[in-house]
Structure 1
Amino acid sequence: MASVSGATSSLGNTSLRGYGGFGSGIDRDSIIEQMTAGTQSKITNQKNKMTSLGWKQEAFQAVSDKMLALQDNYFSFASGTNLKYPSMFAKNQITAMGDSDITKFVSATGSSNMLDYLSILGVKQLASSSTLQSASKGTSSIHTGITQDSLANPVYKSSLLQGRQLRFGTYSGDQYQSAGIFTFPPSYKDKDGDGKDITVSIDYTIDLDAAVEVDGVTMTGGEKLAMQLNKALSQSGIKSGEDSISDVMEFVYADGKMNLQTKAGKTTSLVINSSSSALTALGYNPQNADGTDKTVSDGISLSEFNENQKQLNDTYVNRQTMTQYLTGKKLTISFGGQTKEIELVKSGDRFADLDDLKGIIQGRLNQAFGTDNIKVAGGTDSLSFELGSNASPNQTLTVTSDNAEIRNVLGIQKGASNKLNLEGSIRDNIDKLIPDGPDAEAKRAQFLNSLETDGLVINGVKISGVTADTSIQGMIDKINANKDVGVKASYLSSSNQFVLVSSETGSGREINLEGASVDIFGAIQINPEDSLESSADKLTGGNGADFLESLRTGGLVINGVTIADVTKDTSIKDMIDKINENEATGVKASFSSSNNQLVLEALESNTDGKIELDGASNELFGIDRGNGGFIQGKNAQILVSYGNGVNTMIESSSNTFDLEGLRVTVSQEFGELKQTNGIWTSVDKSKAVTFSAKADVDGVTETVKKFIEEYNEMIKEINTQVTTRPDKAYGPLTEEQKDEMSEKSIENWEKKAKQGLLYNDATMRALSLDMQGVLTNLMANGANYKDLEEMGITISDDYLDGGTITFDEAKFKAAMTSDPEKVSNVFTGGGDIKKGLASIIEDTLTPYATKYANRNGNSYGRLIEEAGSEKIPLSIMNNQIYKDLKEMQSVLDTLNARLASEQDRYISQFTTMETLINQMNSQASYLAQFQA
């Protein structure tokens, strides 16, 4: 019996799913493709239609996008080149005329019909912001912890741990493999409350049993030290296997010992090398109970380390007297632009008490910075540094050390200064924000409580994020970042005062303080009705007692003249009156409420201007106490003449004035002005400033030139789309066709296929005809074609180009120079022209494409409704072509589903046939055995 499987087939894994032709030898896929060719043809045709429609949409958008761009650039109120604005063509290039030494302070823009008559006779005053200057901050002395008692008593601690090392590693037999070395660092990196990077010093000499607060949590000093060491450990980079060492182990302070424990759920093979220099300081006992050394040839495990600990308090610091500690130690001192290191106690120095030590240090300071520029002061309770008699009161003195331990021992902050430390927190600067004086500690506590409960409030606005731990600079930054406060804050290091300046100039700008802000930014308030005794500290910067004693013993003496009947009970006002009543002094006294200061001025009779002060008078008048004060902002005032013989004093809250359409800005006071019987006049009218104006010929010419170029590009696009016939020999390519072509060939083909898609389109024909009638429409609105020719604007001679405009730049410039108003009328309408060229073009384009549907019967225009535009997002999925493409996609989906169904049906039928053939072949093979 013959077998039907004699034919061979190349079929195996085919383009259709499954396998076909193994049994029959039939090319299944080719047959199925032929049987489904009708449906496949419909799919191809549908795809081609969609591609053509998509190209047509792009062609519409190529036109509408140019139309919308033209409107955006030249007809929009938001555009700086709006040709509908008469101001574009107006004489708005303003020049201040007059004395060049005066006109440099005046600038003007805009335009005004009064330009030929306006003149500025003078500037009486410029606008200024309201200013609040705080009382002087800071402290006259920088105190240390060096006292008479500390020189002999062993109460000062220096760390035995900082800079020492723990060496971690593993042992394999006798071989030690290092995993890393942890050096106990002076500090670690962290984040402050604002998320800024900061460096935190580790307090290695902290009292281990003292209660301390960290981020609102109370703990012992030992627990704080362990916490800081763990943060440093996490930044060491040491690994335990794949883990960071800080993920595996941690320092734990408990029962007076500093243990090193594995974390819950973690194990480690790391041991501590017995040569580690930090072991002794951490309290590790290397000896057995009998005094023999422990055998640690394979390292010290964490459990061995923890089981052999002494009390940390006995090992972590070295306790010394202040004299012992200071020997060889240096402070970094800055003054007068110089920074030098001063060794406090040298080996071999001999001193019996604190006064002797002061003398030694004073000698070194005199040698380093000059005699009496820096003074070593203080009684037996504390050695301090302050400005000497030869130093200016406003100079800055800084005493610090890079070594945190030295700072801790001496009780000084990093960057300690007689001025505020801007990098330090509000809490750290509390003694400078609220200086020493009566009830100073109570005032400081009240201030911190107010800051905590009510925050920092300025002009009724709470500055968020300001706490006692915020740095001074951080506080200033937060104020300046809050626009609602209406002020800008700064710190004047020269006078050691804060300044708040209103954000806006002009009178009436208030700066109101509440609560804690009063203590920081407020001025010292002095009431002239108060007695000298009650105001003594305020008047003298805290030297009230010395002033009152000097007043009692020597009286008030000015220029050698004693002012009679001035005692501690005399009011400030009465004292001023008594000084002014005594002409022999040759001075006039007054009280300045703006800065809360007493002021002396030499009288005209005092020909040499001499003011000599003595004793009590020097305390009152001799020094600027930095009491601060509020200065109200001022309005700017200028004297203007309108050419009618009447001068007008005009005010503005800023230095800019609007004078009949002219925007004038002044930057300096000038002119000698006087007022007689309520009428302001100028003493020297030669200093008056007048104005001349001309059109911006070059700027307008360039704008109009670009406009016509873009307009012509749009016209050419419209004309090309309308007049180009399609070549029916070209159409969308199938994927199979593209596979056989190069990219360049595909590009050229599709470029040809896209041409003529809008040929004879009704909307495009209507648009083209409307655009060709633009200049005709302009003539109908009163324009004269001859005038257009004179300014270089004419219609193209080629009637086939769709209505482009020709532009003669030279003629246009000449027209703008000689008669800018005529040019303006042509573009904007005016004079005999009812509607200008810009409005006519805009009105012509709007029915076809506009971003403002409300101007066109709630329609974005015919082109947008047809094809949409990415420039109008709402139209992208709301246009006719999009809807058509959506419907066509639905048809395509149906055809694809039909094709899949047909293929599945035929595949099933062929599979059944192949199964039957295989069965027949098997039977034939079986029967062939018997025949053989």
Structure 2
Amino acid sequence: MTISRINSMRLTGLATGLDTDSIIKNTLSIERMRIDVVSQKKQVAEWKRDQYREVTNLLRGIKSEYMDVLKPSTNMLSQSNYKKYTASTVDSATGQTSTLVSVSGTVNAMSGSHSVKVLQRASAAQAQSTENVTQELISTRDMNLSSAKLKGKSITLTLDGVTKEITFDADYSTTDDLITGGGDPAKKGLQKLINEAFGADKIEVLQVGTDDKIKFSTVSGATKLSIYSGSSETKDATSILRITPGTSNRINIYDSLENIVPKMKTAWKFDENDKLKFTINNKTFEFDRTTSLSNMMSTINGDETANVTMRYDETTDHFVIASKETGAAGAIIINEEDPGYNFVSAISVNNVIPNSGDVDGVTYGKDAKALIDEQEITRSTNSLSVNDLTYTLLRDPKDTEVDTIQNVTVDLDVDGIYENIQKFVEKYNEMITTINNRLSEKYDRNYVPLTDEQKEAMSEKEIENWEEQAKTGLLRNDAILEKIVMDMRRALFDPIEGVNINLTSIGITTGVYTEKGKLNIDETKLKNAIQNDSDAVMNLFSQKSSSEPAYYRTLSQEQREIRYDEEGLFQRLYDIIEDNISTFSDSGGRKGVLLEKAGIQADRSYTNNMIYNEILGYEKRMDLMWDNYYSKEDSLYKKYANLETAMNQLNNQTNSLLAQLGMGS
């Protein structure tokens, strides 16, 4: 609203008594109606755009679910979905489903029976530490027993996640007294106190040689032991025992490499640049001293060149390095540029070099071996592909004490193939029904988009109901949607070169005329066709054009026609979908028809399409109309303001004249 309008409105009716706002509003009502008409056209265009995009998303959904190479189980363009096989494997001795081997078939497999005897599963090469790598849990120096009082003081032990506080019941002046109580029945000794807390035969307390040092060891399956201070500073006994609080018989993989060094039996060293450097299978690794052991192992495990996994086994206190690949050729070779840095010695592992004889801590990889139809087959992995069947060895006979023939029966998976086709038909019918509903909706001219004034007089529910009715019929008899439906119906029933069957002959037909192209399936007839002529069914749906095997937006019309005649039904549907929703441009620079018309999010067409330009045109037109409207409105307000001024002057003159004539009030 301009300043002149505001000032004029403040003068409304003071002298003339006129309702200036109402007069001007009525005077400009025709202008406002013209603006509302353009605004309604803009709203209709936006609704049409949204409905076109709904159809685009329907087609994208079909493509994503049934025409995506990343979803092989439902990709109807793939021949493998029409030659799926089920394989049952039974142990000949027990008659039960085999636990030793499973079998699957490729598209070229054949139904039939086979025999399998698992001789050996493939395994990976592995090297593990030949001894514990962490220092034993021992006093750092001779204990201070003779001059200290232990009674009432305590230490805290954590064994495999269980924490107990051990409080000394006496002052022990010698190591023998401390460990066993020195034979005095009145003194329990630390060993008895620990046994009472954790149970016998879990933690063993020993004197180290003839020194006044104490050693804590785990036994009988117990593994990780850590020692901490007592519950308070005055009660803490770790300083008397010469034990550093937090000491453990296992390393913490989340510690830095630098902090782990003093805990190792054999310490590795960092080079002059504070780096730990070594090579695994010709891949050189370099780590800062501040890197955690966990991050170091994660980096190694993620490297494709080294092709190994490294882990620290807390139970055994060993490092384990295993090849990621199975087979007898697997090798694990660790080198250091300067052996003086001792990383290999610190983790106590030997290199794995195939056929090198017995080596401590080394397990050589093995190839998989099986007798398949009485022929011995050897592979480096546990998946053995033979004559288009894949035999997966699940367990090793030596681990199961099963050494029998496994009988394999391979059959075409008729139900699985049928189910895929049925689900696609259901989705196709949903899409066709939705598009046909848009094409047949009646348009009611009495329901046009509401103006702002009309909405102000209605409830939200009334507005919702009105707009729902106003949106119907906007795509009635739409040429683009009609072409999509007709192209798909034609594509499904036009003959295919080299294929002697069609949908009707395998039990898939269109229903009555009112169903407008929906497909119906005769289950028995389709399953019989799959069972008896699976190759023909496969070609009917998924055959590729030999002349133009791939869809390109730049194909000429002649190339498109050749491709159409030679390709299977799902290939044709794929082409039709791409013609309408492709984000790639053809030789004329045009994207898919629906995108050229209405665009789609996350693509340049979102603001570069016919309806967008139409909406933009309406917005520009409305801007000009509003400018004209406000210009006329300002002009009228100025005129009425001048009238008001004139009337005030006239009234003042009249009152002055009457006063001079003595006729004033």
Query: What secondary structure is seen at the aligned counterpart in 1 of 2:181?
Result: helix
Q: What does 1:536-685 align with in structure 2 at a 5 Å threshold?
A: 593-595=358-360, 629-641=361-373, 647-652=375-380, 654-670=381-397
Following the alignment from structure 1 to structure 2, what is the Cα–Cα distance between the partners of residues 813 and 414?
Answer: 74
SS of equivalent residue, structure 2 residue 17: coil
Q: Which amino acid aligns with 1:66?
A: L
Q: Of the candidates 325, 328, 344, which is equivalent to residue 518 of structure 1? A: 344
Gaps of 5+ in 1: 1-12, 153-321, 436-443, 526-590, 596-628, 672-683
> Counterparts of 2:256 and 2:70 in 1: how far apart (Å)?
48
Matches within 5 A, 1:677-826: 687-689=404-406, 691-778=408-495, 782-784=499-501, 788-789=503-504, 791-798=506-513, 800-826=514-540
Tell me what 1:328 maps to: 152
Give, as a single letter, the amino acid of the residue that structure 1 aligns with 2:523: E
**Whose Rg is larger?**
1
CA distance in 1 between partners of 2:40 and 2:162 (Å): 84
Contact 2:90 2:408 in 1 (8 A): yes
Match 1:122 to one of 105, 118, 125: 118
User: Does structure 2 retain, via aligned residues, the 8 Å contact 1:105–1:666?
Assistant: yes
Does 2:21 match 1:29? yes
- Residue 51 of structure 2 aligns to which amino acid in structure 1? A
Deviation at 1:467, TM superposition (A): 2.2
Q: How many residues align?
A: 610
Distance (whole Å) between structure 2 residues aligned to residue 856 and residue 701 of structure 1: 39
What SS is found at the alignment partner of 2:574? Answer: helix
1:840 matched residue in structure 2: 572
Corresponding residue number in structure 1 for 2:562: none
Secondary structure (helix, strand or coil) at the match of 1:701 reads helix
Tell me if the contact between 2:311 and 2:321 (Cα under 8 Å) persists in the aligned partners: yes
Following TM superposition, by how much is the alpha carbon of 1:381 offset from its aligned partner in structure 2, in angstroms?
Answer: 6.0
Moved more, 789-798 or 15-24: 15-24
Counterpart of 2:388, as a letter, is G
Partner Cα distance (1:687, 1:371) in 2: 44
Alignment of 1:415-426 (within 5 A): 415-420=246-251
Could you say if the C-alpha distance between residues 907 and 485 of structure 1 is closer, same or farther in structure 2, counting changes exceeding 3 Å? farther
In structure 2, the residue corresponding to 1:773 is in which secondary structure?
helix
Q: Label 1:334 to 1:726 Cα distance change in 2 as closer, same or farther (>3 A).
A: closer
Q: Deviations over 1:477-520 (max 9, x none)?
A: 67657777644333334432222223343433435254464354
Deviations 1:568-608, CA, capped at 9 Å, x for gaps? xxxxxxxxxxxxxxxxxxxxxxx97521xxxxxxxxxxxxx
Aligned residues of 2:103 and 2:390 also touching (Cα < 8 A): yes
Q: Cα distance, 1:35 vs. partner?
A: 3.2
Secondary structure at the aligned position of 2:432 is classed as: helix
Distance 2:221 2:314 in 1: 12
Distance 1:409 1:731 in 2: 93
Matches within 5 A, 1:866-877: 866-870=597-601, 873-877=603-607
Shift of 1:377: 1.6
Question: Take 1:796 and 1:393, find their aligned partners in 2: how far apart are those partners?
Answer: 72
What is the 5 A alignment of 1:387-536? Answer: 387=217, 398-403=226-231, 405=233, 406=236, 407-408=238-239, 410-420=241-251, 429-434=260-265, 444=267, 447-450=268-271, 453-455=274-276, 457=278, 459=280, 460=283, 462=285, 467=290, 470=292, 486-506=307-327, 507-514=329-336, 515=341, 517-523=343-349
Match of 1:90 in 2: 83
Using structure 1 for the length normalisation, give the TM-score: 0.57
Residue identity opposite 2:359 in structure 1: S
For 2:591, the equivalent position in structure 1 comes to 860
Shift of 1:46: 0.8
Q: What letter is aligned with 2:189? A: R
1:364 is matched with 189
Identity, % of aligned pairs?
Answer: 26
Secondary structure of the residue that 2:410 maps to in structure 1?
A: strand
**In the TM superposition, what is the alpha-carbon distance from 1:419 to its structure 2 partner?**
4.1
Which residue of the partner structure matches residue 882 of structure 1? 612
C-alpha distance 467-901 of structure 1, shift in aligned 2 (>3 A): same
Change (3 A) 1:810 1:145: same
CA distance in 1, matches of 2:252, 2:582: 58
Question: Is the 1:732–1:750 contact (alpha carbons within 8 Å) kept by the matching residues of 2?
Answer: yes
> Is the contact made by 1:119 and 1:688 (CA closer than 8 Å) also made in structure 2?
yes
- CA apart distance, 1:88: 1.0
Distance 1:151 1:478 in 2: 47
Q: Aligned-residue CA RMSD in angstroms?
A: 4.2
Q: Separation in 2 of the partners of 1:921 and 1:123?
A: 121
Superposed, 1:235-274 pairs within 5 Å as: none
Confirm or deny: 8 A CA contact 1:456 1:516 kept in the other structure. Answer: no
Shift of the 656–413 alpha-carbon distance from structure 1 to 2, 3 Å rule, reads farther
Q: Which amino acid aligns with 2:573?
A: I
856 and 108 in structure 1: CA distance in 2 versus 1, 3 angstrom threshold: farther
Bigger mean CA deviation after superposition, 331-340 or 724-733 = 331-340
Contact kept, 8 Å, 2:112 with 2:411, in 1: the verdict is: no
Q: Confirm or deny: 8 A CA contact 1:715 1:771 kept in the other structure.
A: no
Task: Name the SS for the 1:103 alignment partner.
Answer: coil
Distance 2:624 2:162 in 1: 88
TM-superposed deviation, 1:394: 8.4
Matches of 2:32 and 2:608, distance apart in 1? 31
8 Å contact 1:124–1:669 — kept in the other structure? yes
Amino acid of the residue matched to residue 498 of structure 1?
F
**Aligned partners of 1:899 and 1:375: how far apart in 2?**
99
- Any idea what SS the aligned residue of 1:412 has? coil
User: Structure 1 residues 914 and 109 mapped into 2: Cα distance closer, same or farther (>3 Å)?
Assistant: farther
Corresponding residue SS for 2:148: helix
Q: 1:32 to 1:360 in 2, by over 3 A?
A: same
